[in-house]
Structure 1
Amino acid sequence: MAPDIDSPKIERFESDLALRWSGRVSLTRRILAVNIFALALLAGGFFYLDSYRSRIVDSRVMQANREVRLIAEALRSVPLDQMEPLAARLSRETWSRIRLYAPDDTRLLDSRALGVRNFVLRDPDKQGWDQTAARFLDAVIDTVVGAERAPLYRDRDPDIGSAWPGVVFARENDATRAQVLRAPDRTPVILAFAPLEPGGRVVMTAVNARSITETVRVERFRLSVVLGIVTLISILLSLFLARTIVRPLRRLARAAVRVRLGRAREVVVPRLPTRRDEIGMLARALSDMSLALRARIDATEAFAADVTHELKNPLASLRSAVESLATVKDPALQAQLLEIVRDDVHRLDRLISDISDASRLDAQLSRAQFEEVDLAQMIAALIEVRRARAPESSVTLRFDQADAADMVVLGEGARLERVFENLIDNAVSFSPPGGTVTIGAREEDGWLVVTVDDDGPGVPEEARTSIFRRFHSVRPDAEDFGRHSGLGLAIARTIVEAHQGTIAVESRADRVRGARFVVCLPLVEQS
Structure 2
Amino acid sequence: MADGKIKRRAMARHGSKYFGSRIARLIFASNLAGLAILIIGAMVLNEMRAGFVVSKKQDLVAQAQIFTSLLGDDATTPAPSLDVEAARQTIVRLNLPERVRARIYLPDGDLVGDSFYLSERVDVDALRPLQEPSSFAKMGAELSEWAGKTFGPIMPRRSSEALRAQSFEQEFDIAVKGKEAASQRFSDRGQRVISVSMPIQRVSAVVGVLTLESNDIDEIIRAERAALVPFIGVAVLVAFITSFLLTLGIARPLRRLSLAADRIRAGSSDGIDIPSLTTRRDEIGNLAASMQSMTEALLERIEANEQFAADVAHELKNPLTSIRSAVETAERVQDDPVASDRLRQVIAQDVKRLDRLITDISNASRLEAEMTRVPNEQMDIAGFVQDVVRTYDAFADEEDAVTVQFRDDTMGARLLVRGREGPLGQVVRNLIDNARSFSPDGGVVMVRVDQSNDGPQTIARICVEDNGPGIPDDKLETIFSRFYTDRPKGTAFGNNSGLGLSIVKQIIATHRGKVWAENRDEGGARFIVDLPAI
Task: Calculate the TM-score normalised by the size of structure 2.
Answer: 0.63
With 440-449 and 49-58 compared, the bigger mean Cα shift is at: 49-58
Aligned mates of 1:53, 1:138 — CA distance in 2: 26
- Deviation at residue 314 of structure 1 after TM alignment: 1.5
Aligned mates of 1:472, 1:88 — CA distance in 2: 121
Kindly provide the amino acid, as one letter, of the partner of residue 358 in structure 1. A
Question: Aligned pair 1:402/2:409, yes or no?
Answer: yes
- Deviation at residue 401 of structure 1 after TM alignment: 3.8
Aligned mates of 2:145, 2:460 — CA distance in 1: 81
Aligned to 2:372: 366
Flag the 1:378–1:54 CA change in 2: closer, same or farther, 3 A. same
- Deviation at residue 86 of structure 1 after TM alignment: 4.1
Flag the 1:141–1:60 CA change in 2: closer, same or farther, 3 A. farther
Matches within 5 A, 1:322-333: 322-332=327-337, 333=339
- Deviation at residue 261 of structure 1 after TM alignment: 5.7
Question: Aligned pair 1:471/2:472, yes or no?
Answer: no
Paired residues, what number?
Answer: 449
Aligned to 1:424: 432
Aligned to 1:490: 502
- Deviation at residue 350 of structure 1 after TM alignment: 1.0
Contact 2:38/2:231, CA 8 A, preserved across alignment = no
Aligned mates of 1:377, 1:80 — CA distance in 2: 121
| SS in structure 2 of the partner of residue 388 of structure 1 | coil
| SS in structure 1 of the partner of residue 270 of structure 2 | coil
With 53-62 and 314-323 compared, the bigger mean Cα shift is at: 53-62
Contact 1:53/1:216, CA 8 A, preserved across alignment = no
Kindly provide the amino acid, as one letter, of the partner of residue 432 in structure 2. I
Flag the 1:144–1:499 CA change in 2: closer, same or farther, 3 A. closer
Contact 2:423/2:507, CA 8 A, preserved across alignment = yes
Aligned to 2:526: 516
Aligned to 1:308: 313
| SS in structure 1 of the partner of residue 95 of structure 2 | helix
Flag the 1:437–1:81 CA change in 2: closer, same or farther, 3 A. closer
| SS in structure 1 of the partner of residue 94 of structure 2 | helix
- Deviation at residue 375 of structure 1 after TM alignment: 4.0
Contact 1:466/1:472, CA 8 A, preserved across alignment = yes
With 72-81 and 354-363 compared, the bigger mean Cα shift is at: 72-81
Matches within 5 A, 1:247-396: 247-258=252-263, 265-268=270-273, 272-332=277-337, 333-368=339-374, 370=377, 372=380, 374-375=383-384, 377-378=386-387, 380-381=389-390, 384-389=393-398, 391-393=399-401
Aligned mates of 1:71, 1:495 — CA distance in 2: 106
Aligned to 1:237: 242
Aligned mates of 2:145, 2:391 — CA distance in 1: 92
Aligned mates of 2:394, 2:182 — CA distance in 1: 117
Name which of 438, 442, 445 aligns with 2:450. Answer: 442
Flag the 1:60–1:108 CA change in 2: closer, same or farther, 3 A. closer
Aligned mates of 2:388, 2:251 — CA distance in 1: 57
Kindly provide the amino acid, as one letter, of the partner of residue 429 in structure 2. E
| SS in structure 2 of the partner of residue 347 of structure 1 | helix
Aligned mates of 1:193, 1:226 — CA distance in 2: 40
Kindly provide the amino acid, as one letter, of the partner of residue 306 in structure 2. E
With 137-146 and 349-358 compared, the bigger mean Cα shift is at: 137-146
Aligned to 2:93: 89
| SS in structure 1 of the partner of residue 515 of structure 2 | strand
Contact 2:471/2:525, CA 8 A, preserved across alignment = yes
Percent sequence identity is: 32
In structure 2, the gaps of 5 or more residues are 1-25, 78-82, 106-111, 128-135, 147-167, 202-207
| SS in structure 1 of the partner of residue 486 of structure 2 | coil
Aligned mates of 1:139, 1:60 — CA distance in 2: 35
- Deviation at residue 377 of structure 1 after TM alignment: 2.5
Aligned mates of 1:145, 1:60 — CA distance in 2: 30
Kindly provide the amino acid, as one letter, of the partner of residue 366 in structure 1. T
Flag the 1:443–1:95 CA change in 2: closer, same or farther, 3 A. closer
- Deviation at residue 358 of structure 1 after TM alignment: 0.9
Aligned mates of 1:271, 1:319 — CA distance in 2: 58
| SS in structure 1 of the partner of residue 280 of structure 2 | coil
Aligned mates of 1:43, 1:93 — CA distance in 2: 31
Aligned mates of 2:60, 2:188 — CA distance in 1: 14
**Deviations, residues 291-348 of structure 1 (Å, cap 9, x unaligned):** 3222222222222222122112212222232233344433333323222221221111
Contact 1:471/1:486, CA 8 A, preserved across alignment = yes
Matches within 5 A, 1:92-241: 92=96, 145=144, 209-210=215-216, 212=217, 215-216=220-221, 219-241=224-246
| SS in structure 2 of the partner of residue 91 of structure 1 | coil
Question: Aligned pair 1:453/2:461, yes or no?
Answer: no
| SS in structure 2 of the partner of residue 447 of structure 1 | strand
Aligned mates of 1:421, 1:358 — CA distance in 2: 15
**Deviations, residues 119-155 of structure 1 (Å, cap 9, x unaligned):** 6868789xxxxxxxxxxx99997786479xxxxxxxx
Kindly provide the amino acid, as one letter, of the partner of residue 426 in structure 1. N
Flag the 1:256–1:439 CA change in 2: closer, same or farther, 3 A. same
| SS in structure 2 of the partner of residue 335 of structure 1 | helix
| SS in structure 1 of the partner of residue 289 of structure 2 | helix
Alignment RMSD (CA, Å): 5.5
Aligned mates of 1:261, 1:293 — CA distance in 2: 15
- Deviation at residue 286 of structure 1 after TM alignment: 3.1
Task: Calculate the TM-score normalised by the size of structure 1.
Answer: 0.64
Aligned to 1:128: none
Kindly provide the amino acid, as one letter, of the partner of residue 471 in structure 1. F
Contact 2:33/2:238, CA 8 A, preserved across alignment = no
Aligned mates of 1:70, 1:98 — CA distance in 2: 14
Contact 1:182/1:188, CA 8 A, preserved across alignment = no
Aligned to 1:157: none
Kindly provide the amino acid, as one letter, of the partner of residue 490 in structure 1. S
Contact 1:65/1:177, CA 8 A, preserved across alignment = no
**Deviations, residues 348-373 of structure 1 (Å, cap 9, x unaligned):** 11111111111111222333364545
Kindly provide the amino acid, as one letter, of the partner of residue 464 in structure 1. L
| SS in structure 2 of the partner of residue 309 of structure 1 | helix
Aligned mates of 1:55, 1:138 — CA distance in 2: 29
